Structure 1
Amino acid sequence: MVKNGTEHLRSVRDGRAVYLDGKLVGDVSLAPAYRNAVASAAMLYDHQAAPANIERMTFELEPGRRVNRAWQHPRSYEEMVERRKALVEWAELTCGFLGRSPDHVASSVSAQYMGIQVLEDYDPRRAKAFRGWYEDARRNDIFLTYVINNVQGDRSKAFGDQGAGAEDMVARIVDEDSAGITIRGAKLFATSAIMANEIFVGSGQPLKPGEEHLAFSCALPMNAKGMKMLSRKSFEAHALSEYDNPLSYRFDENDALIFFDDVKVPWERVFIHRNTDMCRAQLHDNFAHVYQNYQAQIRLSVKLRFLVGLAHGVARTIGTVNFPAVREQLGKLASLAAIIEGMVYGMEAAGQLVNGYWMPNKHLLYAAQVQSQETYPQIVAAIRDLAGGAMLMLPSSVEDFANQDLARLISLTQISPAMSGEERVKLLKLCWDAVGSEFASRHLQYEMFYAGGQYVTRGHSYRTYDWKGADALGQRLMDGYGLEVKAPGQAA
């Protein structure tokens, strides 16, 4: 048995509270603001369930039950490569534009499970709760998202010092009893929450002593009583057609703020309880943070390949592909995409067995994050440069082609040495949706900041680099000479 798209569509029709434009949205699988994105998620599950794909995309968890390889716990380099190939195949279906596809948070919690000793050392009861919840989530191959960031507020002040009226700004424990904890307040960024099955709630930001009421982690179904999703603007709702806005029409995964309005969480779903150090440890003292971002780099490598292909397509369609300067620029873009892809392979090859599980190399992961935060905007800017005004002077919509007079004028003015006028418009509209539209702007911001600001990723890179080995190289050389003068040709 393998989860398919029909099952996923059925699972999101659960009465979840999603708000958009001042109104409560009903069935997200039918809502014009979300239905195509939800269908895209269902498409991923249909792909894994297709008989020709089952062996590649899933593994046998137990007799009669197969789940996506995102839940696989690789015990060797070979198994990690096998898992990565499945993640690449999923990413290719969306060209990497579902930033929080089902394999992202599944990767994070799987690494937490593989490093369960971190929770065992903290509190065996919380470890038991996590283990039971995780095994059920994996068995049902759920679409899991997370919220691990607090609302910004006044960045110059601590979360608990935002002033009168801001008590509910950040999600906190407001009550507890023998049945569980009650939480109130907000968390973000709940990307893909509108089409997920459950949400992992934690804290990816440092907490200080005195903020124990903010220090918890748990998991909740998306229809939990009192949980409200405040959706950002829907780009899908404003997409004219698939021809005019091919990416935003299908892949607007949406981002949401989650407000917990006195949400009761049973103890069997509480994993951290009033411990600031453990909130950090749950993500960083095992390989959870590395594993989730390893998946993100796999997805991004596919997205960069797609964008570089668009750049090449632009050069072909406007007839500049053989210009030396353009080929030079395309060669640079190809190298940037290949660097990230190569670093993914490096993370795997330089990985290590940790408690019997193969884990990617930490520093190469963080180094790739540093590079990708710079690479993505470079490639976007290069496509805009290569296209120039070509992406601006396009027909208003696909409806123009239905008018014979306009269709004739389009064929006369949208000339290309490589394709028809209709194909030229199609390609350039795709390019605009990828790099110039409001949807594209959101993706630029997402890729630059989903892992934190550059000071965060560069800090991770600094902390995980082998400085001892690097320093030793220079020291070994310096140890071989001193102030004494040696005769020419004399060995050190």
Structure 2
Amino acid sequence: MGNANGVSDMHEATATQRGISSMDATKGAGALDGKRYLESLRDGREVWYRGKRVDDVTTYPEFAEMAKSIARIYDMQHVPETRDVMTYEQDNGLRASYSYFLPTEPEHLLRRRRNTEVWVREVFGMCGRLPDFCASMVIGYYDIRHELAKLSPDLAKNTETYLKYARDHDLCLSHGLHDPCMDKSLRPSQDPDRCVRVIKERDDGIVVRGARFNTFGIFSNEILISPTYMFTEDEAEFALWFTVPCNAPGLKQVAREVFSGRNPMDHPVSARFDEVDSLAIFDDVFIPWERVFLYREPLAANRLFRGNVMSWASYAGSVLTQLRMEILVAVAHLLATTSGVDKRPNVVSTLGEMCTYLSLARSNLRAGEVDCIRTPGGHYRTAAAPERRALVTMVSERFVELVEHIGTSSLIFLPTAEDWTAPELKKHLDIYMRGKGTSPIDRYKLCRLAWDLTGDGYGGRQQLYERLHSGDPTMVVQNAYRRFDLSAGIELVTKFLDLERPVADTSR
């Protein structure tokens, strides 16, 4: 039963019994390996799939393959070939992931990027919310601790405590992306269920209710919540930044239909790298104060998150996006060459267009590193580049279209992996699945990969995610214009024409 505030007494009591109310004060073991990672997911979390509760995400058939894929990457933190690329030794003797490394010199950004590159390559550029991405958000929280201290010194200190805790335990994190898509014509104050909100304040913490869309949450240790909605001053109960363990009482994750569990020959990426989106439901979840970074500060929440915290995470996101573009260009090229159309002018033009977009993405990322800035928090991050996100928004759908344009019907009329094992069919497939300079089976694998990346439900999900996860594409592109520095060009034109003053308002 709930109390007078509608809060579940059972959840509050259970939180105390299970120790969720405070972070583990014991010394962490440093960089995770695969075994410890999988064990950390067996914590009693409440995950639902197709109306049934999942007892163990590491062994459940629909989720096990992805969990194993992430465990394999954590194991790479301990092998000689990648150990020093992915981890470093702290002053306390623990090795820590470069995902949690504080860049105090410009060249430190490259250390972070090399670690990110390992992560994204090992998932073939398919997972948009890897642990490395969300660890960067924790760096972002810590980097603006001086701003948070103006609002609440105690909560600002939490960013430092949590960074150390997350780093020493090598927490695998995810974050609540957006609010549920309900009636968007209503403000949160008109429909409180639209956004996660505080419903009770206690001496030891707060109780929250609501829901968030989440990616990778069922495979993570904790979820970061920082709303992206632009709140007004009278909507303070929604302006919260906090983190919550995935096994917190009252937290339910309802997973979408998965793409895993299929034959990896037919679905080479979706069978292995489905990061799984879910609806995270906060059914009166207790959050101790030590896990709260910002509280009831709507204007500060609006100002600090996208322009500061997410600037750190976007660096990792850009590395992944660049690799994804490289993969799609390579797939398009291989489709063209094995189809014998790689010399046709229209195909060459298509490939040239894709290479141009890829080159722009590479150059922009490198420019962000070269023009990196030293933040007021004392760290170096890439220069803010809204046009980087705008470019991805503009070309993600175009890339899929161009791959389909080159692959044409060869991406549709495909047999299945089982057909290759039937002797009476294989002799025909060996004839009619041939390509230029390749074996029939290799040509089949290439076409299947292209379909998995573009036309299959998995590919559709990937493209939709890439194009929309930063918000309305129109607004993203508009923001690139609004934040672009035009001053040098305006000054040049003004001087050339000997204008007494600018002929138009330059504010945007």
| Other-structure match for 1:371 | 391
**Equivalent of residue 333 in structure 1, options 334, 349, 354:** 354
| Offset of residue 169 of structure 1 | 4.2
| Offset of residue 24 of structure 1 | 0.8
- Give yes or no for contact 1:61–1:139 (8 Å, CA) kept in 2: no
- Give yes or no for contact 2:49–2:254 (8 Å, CA) kept in 1: yes
In the alignment, structure 1 residue 70 sits paired with structure 2 residue 94: no
CA distance in 2, matches of 1:61, 1:410: 56
TM-score (norm 2): 0.89
CA distance in 1, matches of 2:407, 2:306: 42
CA distance in 2, matches of 1:213, 1:54: 44
Kindly report which structure 2 residues correspond to 1:19-418, keeping only aligned pairs within 5 A, or say none.
19-162=48-191, 167-188=192-213, 190-237=214-261, 239=262, 241-284=263-306, 287-355=308-376, 356-362=378-384, 365-395=385-415, 397-418=416-437
| Offset of residue 267 of structure 1 | 1.0
The share of aligned pairs that are identical, in percent, is: 27
- Give yes or no for contact 2:46–2:253 (8 Å, CA) kept in 1: yes
- Give yes or no for contact 1:60–1:67 (8 Å, CA) kept in 2: yes
- Give yes or no for contact 2:77–2:83 (8 Å, CA) kept in 1: yes
Q: What residue identity is the alignment partner of 1:377?
A: E
| Offset of residue 176 of structure 1 | 1.5
| Other-structure match for 1:473 | 492
CA distance in 1, matches of 2:230, 2:455: 35
| Offset of residue 390 of structure 1 | 0.5
Greater alpha carbon shift after TM alignment, 303-312 vs 37-46: 37-46
CA distance in 2, matches of 1:141, 1:107: 12
| Offset of residue 2 of structure 1 | 3.0
- Flag structure 1 segments of 5+ consecutive residues without an equivalent: 483-492
| Other-structure match for 1:488 | none
| Other-structure match for 1:489 | none
- Paired residues in the alignment total 471
Q: What residue identity is the alignment partner of 2:96?
A: V
Distance 1:148 1:310, change over 3 A: closer
CA distance in 1, matches of 2:195, 2:388: 31
CA distance in 1, matches of 2:291, 2:304: 15
Greater alpha carbon shift after TM alignment, 55-64 vs 172-181: 55-64
CA distance in 2, matches of 1:170, 1:52: 45
Greater alpha carbon shift after TM alignment, 150-159 vs 262-271: 150-159
Q: What residue identity is the alignment partner of 1:309?
A: A
| Offset of residue 347 of structure 1 | 0.8
Q: Secondary structure at the match of 1:187?
A: strand
Q: Spell out, residue by residue over 1:338-377, the C-alpha distance to the aligned partner (whole angstroms, 9 max, x if none).
A: 2111110011111222233212111xx2111111111111
| Offset of residue 180 of structure 1 | 0.9
Q: What residue identity is the alignment partner of 1:112?
A: Y
Q: Spell out, residue by residue over 1:122-152, the C-alpha distance to the aligned partner (whole angstroms, 9 max, x if none).
A: 1101112222122101111111111142223
Q: What residue identity is the alignment partner of 1:192?
A: F
CA distance in 1, matches of 2:194, 2:101: 37
Structure 1 segments of 4 or more deviating over 6 A? Answer: none
- Give yes or no for contact 1:119–1:282 (8 Å, CA) kept in 2: no
CA distance in 2, matches of 1:99, 1:137: 20
- Give yes or no for contact 2:375–2:381 (8 Å, CA) kept in 1: yes
| Offset of residue 332 of structure 1 | 1.7
| Offset of residue 309 of structure 1 | 0.5
TM-score (norm 1): 0.92
| Offset of residue 437 of structure 1 | 0.2
Q: Secondary structure at the match of 1:160?
A: coil
- Give yes or no for contact 2:31–2:169 (8 Å, CA) kept in 1: no
Q: Spell out, residue by residue over 1:188-228, the C-alpha distance to the aligned partner (whole angstroms, 9 max, x if none).
A: 2x100010111111211111122112121211111101000
| Offset of residue 462 of structure 1 | 3.1
CA distance in 2, matches of 1:372, 1:148: 18
- Give yes or no for contact 2:196–2:210 (8 Å, CA) kept in 1: yes
CA distance in 1, matches of 2:478, 2:138: 23
| Offset of residue 14 of structure 1 | 1.0
CA distance in 2, matches of 1:294, 1:477: 38
- Give yes or no for contact 1:243–1:398 (8 Å, CA) kept in 2: yes
- Give yes or no for contact 2:226–2:305 (8 Å, CA) kept in 1: no
Q: Secondary structure at the match of 2:73?
A: helix
Q: Secondary structure at the match of 1:249?
A: coil
Q: Spell out, residue by residue over 1:305-358, the C-alpha distance to the aligned partner (whole angstroms, 9 max, x if none).
A: 011110011012211122233222212211211211111001111122223321
